Structure 1
Amino acid sequence: MTSWPPTVQEWLAHDPDPGSTTELAACSAEELRERFAHSLTFGTAGLRGPLRAGPNGMNLAVVLRTTRGVTAVLAERGLGGGHVVVGYDARHRSAEFGRAAAEVFAAQGFSVTLMPGPVPTPVVAFAVRRTGAVAGVQITASHNPPTDNGYKVYLEGGLQIVSPTDRDIEQAIASAPPADQIPRTPVEESGADLLSAYAERAATVRRGAGSVRVALTPMHGVGGEFALDALALAGIADVHVVTGQFAPDPDFPTVAFPNPEEPGAVDALLALAADVDAEVSIALDPDADRCAIGVPSAAGWRMLSGDETGWLLGDYVLSRCNDPASAVVASTVVSSRMLAAIAASYGARHVETLTGFKWLARADDDVPGTLRYAYEEAIGHCLDPEAVRDKDGISAAVLACDMVAALRAQGLSVLDALDALARRHGVHTTAAVTRRVTSPQQAAEIMTRLRNQPPAALVGFDLTVTDLQPRADALVFTGGDDTATVRVVVRPSGTEPKLKCYLEIRCDEELITARGRAAELQNAAAEAVRRW
């Protein structure tokens, strides 16, 4: 290709997918401009985009050229010819894209483990770390709509890439050969031993004993069999699955949006949990790197927020840590502040990072101690950083069941444990306000306005603002008094056309009073933030 981004004609001249000509011919002039205005770029969790022809979509040509770019960067860093792990989920075209990526690596002299079938994303992170691979690639769009796919890159140690590596790869992609001129060498699938090793390792996060009755859904994704294996190895065999959502299905036919956090997505799971009298319900997202937990209450089953699960698991990990003073726990700037208070109570160190597990996984890089636990509010949890330096829904499911069993042995429920944390560290409530935007430009305009004219007050509290640029495009607004505080973080989404606002209220009064006041403040704050 003589220019980048290419013209439609240049693209078609080198697109190895025979269906692209017909697809692009059916596009309007406006859609063609959108598809060819720019290329997919690396965001919070790699490349993600709609399955479609053109540089601004996920397709075979983009996968080939992206992989060629990755090989060039690895070679520049003296890692050419090293071992690479390639995996893929069960989305449309994932297997095709995974094989294509493996073949490009092989043609450039790398030894390649191409996973034997669809696997959860944390399996690839585990395999890279376990084998000492120089890199790993997972074809996945996680919990995006069924029309999307993506490309996630890990480097040595199974850590997601961060800048400047992402920009280096993008530059290498721009100068890569045309897709149909990139060599490919056939690769045989392998790594079955790594799948077994992963399940065995995930089971070891369990600290206690005793069975738990579980309701489980993998939400049409790839985590079902892996979760059953890990739970069984951990001594948890009383697992009931949502049968209509158990087999992988790239169309996600029973949910409007394949994300456990979306309204209605876990209705079938909670109905099953009630039917079988489960003690805990577990929803994995389609690539099983995220885990949502549901528990019974007096008013029926309810899902915990990602922050609530983060508090509980963080406290549980630290309570069973032999040397908490050497432990590091981490959460992101958009997550609740309670984990910091929990860590302080154990004498552990808390680190706050930018959004995304590419930063959480590195939380102990420049501080004393070793990372033991990390979470982000979007139901992502890292329970075993020595094995998986990324979020892992399956190990989170194992530890959640272990925690439920341990609480039951003390005559306590999960909600009792949440009450205890609130009494100890103050009532914390969190909420998210999402504003959809038509383009990244619109999101940038809103952020500019908030920077130039920040709101002075919120729910009666004067606000101070912290701008996280240049580290991140985010603003943090805080205010409060001796009995209550309010915090709002505003940032554009790294994966979707949204502006996200993360609210947290903290109240220090008696439990029932504090919860009532926190709810009032949160509702008022959310209403005000929507007008920002």
Structure 2
Amino acid sequence: MIHFGTGGWRAVIADEFTKANIRLLIAGLCSLMHKEGHDGAEICVGYDRRFLSKESAHWAAEVMAGYGFRPYVINRSSPTPLMMFMVKTRAMPYGIAVTASHNPAIYNGIKVFTAGGRDADRTVTDKIEAEIAQINPDTIKSMDYDAAVAAGVITEHNPTNEYIDSILSAIDVEAIKNAQLRIALDPMYGVSQTSLSMILMTCRCDLEIIHDRRDTLFGGKLPAPNEDTLGPLAAVVMDRWRCDLGIATDGDADRLGVIDDQGQFVHPNKLLVLLYYYLVKYRGWQGPCVRNNSTTVLLDRVAAGLGQNCYEVPVGFKWMSAKMTETDAIIGGESSGGLAVRGHISGKDGIYAAALLVEMLAVTGKKLSALYREIEAQYGALRYAEASFTMTPARKPALQQYLFEQHACPEFENVDHISREDGCKVYFTDGSWVICRFSGTEPLLRMAAEAETDEKAQSYIQTWKAFLSL
């Protein structure tokens, strides 16, 4: 069964991620595009470095060609933001990326993008699922890949330079050159290495790169840049190089992870606050910001202090992109490391975010830790806690019903209000909060909390754990 989550369709390879299901999904997309009047349109097709990604992209292109569309195939593994960039710049109605982003190596998937290079929202994915339900797999049309290339129906391209140039035009290259920064990069065996290293070398940064080859098992680790996975990058930063910054991106390069000059992991909450503060305070930009419901409310404080608004949306970057467009927000971000910036693409881009962070160090002449202390001195400090719990297929339905249909919730004190828009989020009268929700991309139950002390934030998590006997 094909069902889109918060980050597209993802499934275990050879279980539900199969050639038959890929063809079925693309046939459903083609049917929707036909109904929307996009017959014969150019459609971007890209892929990451995962097992079967290239082959899957070709299977998808074959079906598109069979239905009369013109697949614009990126002919090498590339960052997901690059596909979104091409959908936007070439005014395509749709595009796809074969990727499972930061999921474990046994997964693969497909992300769908709409006009403007946006993540397909629930309205679109519901329509695709409805079209899929009407399709007979035995009648799906297709055209042999090589034959379609020979006939000019499928075209192959390498638009990497266009994407790189767009980012270079959006950052202060001269300031970065003058700063002579040392940067350590960890693509986590994913697709950011070419674009990000070219951008930073153009800015005359000294680079040390690890984990840059293709490894479909991602070194036996999760291709997600977090505190648990970035030990090797921290070691490089603190080695004889003594780097100014360590940068990591997830498997498809839409998420960012950072190690500061002291070898410490910088939580994505802090990166989001830092970049918004920098863009308003140092670049002079004006506008609100957007965060999801699992992300720090320190961003709200900073926005208010700068005379701006901060908007909260459910988890899933499709909601983030829509709210950013609606409010003309400067930046939108999430606690998992994804963020988008106005004027680039309408989705998260770890490569562009990394380039902006490097610019921030160069322009301010300050270390990340010093900049964050500057923010906390003005707006106060908050402490964040999070936890994840694996959910078996046998247990999830009952727990889901208990939490979100029976509206079960611990009896917290000093509750201001409770939201069930996306999971169960409890807001407290002192501004602290805790959320419990199911992941839309992995079989996990996630919890996050924020308060003025570590102990208080952790107590909220522990209360939920005890309540659910986890």
Calculate the TM-score normalised by the size of structure 1.
Answer: 0.81
Is residue 276 of structure 2 the alignment partner of residue 314 of structure 1? Answer: yes
| Per-residue deviation, residues 420-454 of structure 1 (Å, max 9, x unmatched) | 211211111111122222133144034148724x3
CA contact (8 A) 2:416 2:429 kept: no
- Identify which of 145, 161, 168 aligns with 1:203: 168
- Identify which of 481, 495, 500 aligns with 2:446: 500
Letter in 2 for 1:490: C
CA contact (8 A) 1:291 1:379 kept: yes
Counterparts in 2 of 1:469-508, with a 5 A limit? 469=421, 472=422, 474-481=423-430, 485-506=431-452
Equivalent in the alignment of 2:12: 50
Letter in 2 for 1:344: A
> How many Å separate the matches in 1 of 2:364 and 2:167?
21
Q: Deviation at 1:342?
A: 1.5
Equivalent in the alignment of 2:343: 386
> How many Å separate the matches in 1 of 2:356 and 2:305?
21
> How many Å separate the matches in 2 of 1:90 and 1:360?
26
**What secondary structure sits across from 1:531 in the alignment?**
helix
**What secondary structure sits across from 1:296 in the alignment?**
coil
Counterparts in 2 of 1:89-488, with a 5 A limit? 89-178=48-137, 181-185=140-144, 186-187=148-149, 188-192=154-158, 194-207=159-172, 208-209=175-176, 210-233=179-202, 235-242=203-210, 245-253=211-219, 255-261=220-226, 263=228, 265-275=229-239, 276-297=241-262, 301-324=263-286, 327-367=287-327, 370-383=328-341, 385-408=342-365, 412-439=366-393, 440-448=396-404, 451-452=407-408, 454-457=409-412, 461-469=413-421, 472=422, 474-481=423-430, 485-488=431-434
| Per-residue deviation, residues 316-371 of structure 1 (Å, max 9, x unmatched) | 112244451xx23211111111112222222233222111111111113444xx23
> How many Å separate the matches in 2 of 1:351 and 1:462?
23
CA contact (8 A) 1:429 1:505 kept: yes
**What secondary structure sits across from 1:361 in the alignment?**
helix
| Per-residue deviation, residues 65-102 of structure 1 (Å, max 9, x unmatched) | 10010011111111222121000001110001101111
Q: Deviation at 1:519?
A: 2.1
Give me the CA root mean square deviation.
1.9
> How many Å separate the matches in 1 of 2:406 and 2:462?
17
> How many Å separate the matches in 1 of 2:288 and 2:459?
35
- Structure 1 stretches lacking a partner, 5+ long: 1-38, 507-517
Letter in 2 for 1:489: I
**What secondary structure sits across from 1:167 in the alignment?**
helix
CA contact (8 A) 2:449 2:461 kept: yes
> How many Å separate the matches in 1 of 2:227 and 2:267?
12
CA 1:181–1:107 in 2, change beyond 3 Å: closer, same or farther? closer
CA contact (8 A) 1:407 1:414 kept: no
> How many Å separate the matches in 2 of 1:388 and 1:524?
39
> How many Å separate the matches in 1 of 2:402 and 2:334?
24
Letter in 2 for 1:304: V
CA 1:455–1:449 in 2, change beyond 3 Å: closer, same or farther? farther
CA 1:450–1:309 in 2, change beyond 3 Å: closer, same or farther? farther
CA 1:519–1:91 in 2, change beyond 3 Å: closer, same or farther? same
Q: Deviation at 1:480?
A: 3.9
Rg: which structure is higher?
A: 1
Q: Deviation at 1:189?
A: 4.7
Calculate the TM-score normalised by the size of structure 2.
Answer: 0.92
Q: Deviation at 1:399?
A: 0.9
Name which of structure 1's ranges 115-124 and 71-80 shifts more when overlaid on structure 2. 71-80
Is residue 6 of structure 2 the alignment partner of residue 60 of structure 1? Answer: no
CA 1:311–1:236 in 2, change beyond 3 Å: closer, same or farther? farther
Letter in 1 for 2:93: V
Equivalent in the alignment of 2:463: 528
**What secondary structure sits across from 2:163 in the alignment?**
helix
| Per-residue deviation, residues 141-197 of structure 1 (Å, max 9, x unmatched) | 0111111100100011111111221111111112223157432252355232x2111
CA 1:184–1:176 in 2, change beyond 3 Å: closer, same or farther? farther
Letter in 2 for 1:237: C
* Alignment size in residue pairs: 453
> How many Å separate the matches in 1 of 2:49 and 2:258?
23
| Per-residue deviation, residues 41-62 of structure 1 (Å, max 9, x unmatched) | 0000110010014xxx111111
> How many Å separate the matches in 1 of 2:136 and 2:410?
49
CA contact (8 A) 2:75 2:156 kept: yes
**What secondary structure sits across from 1:500 in the alignment?**
strand
CA contact (8 A) 2:45 2:71 kept: yes
| Per-residue deviation, residues 460-493 of structure 1 (Å, max 9, x unmatched) | x422442334xx3x22112244xxx420012111
> How many Å separate the matches in 1 of 2:425 and 2:24?
38
Letter in 1 for 2:385: A
Letter in 1 for 2:357: A
Letter in 2 for 1:376: E
CA contact (8 A) 2:27 2:140 kept: no
More RCO (CA 8 Å, sep 6+):
2
CA contact (8 A) 2:62 2:143 kept: yes
| Per-residue deviation, residues 116-164 of structure 1 (Å, max 9, x unmatched) | 1100100001010010001000000011111110010001111111122
Equivalent in the alignment of 1:16: none
> How many Å separate the matches in 2 of 1:314 and 1:262?
22
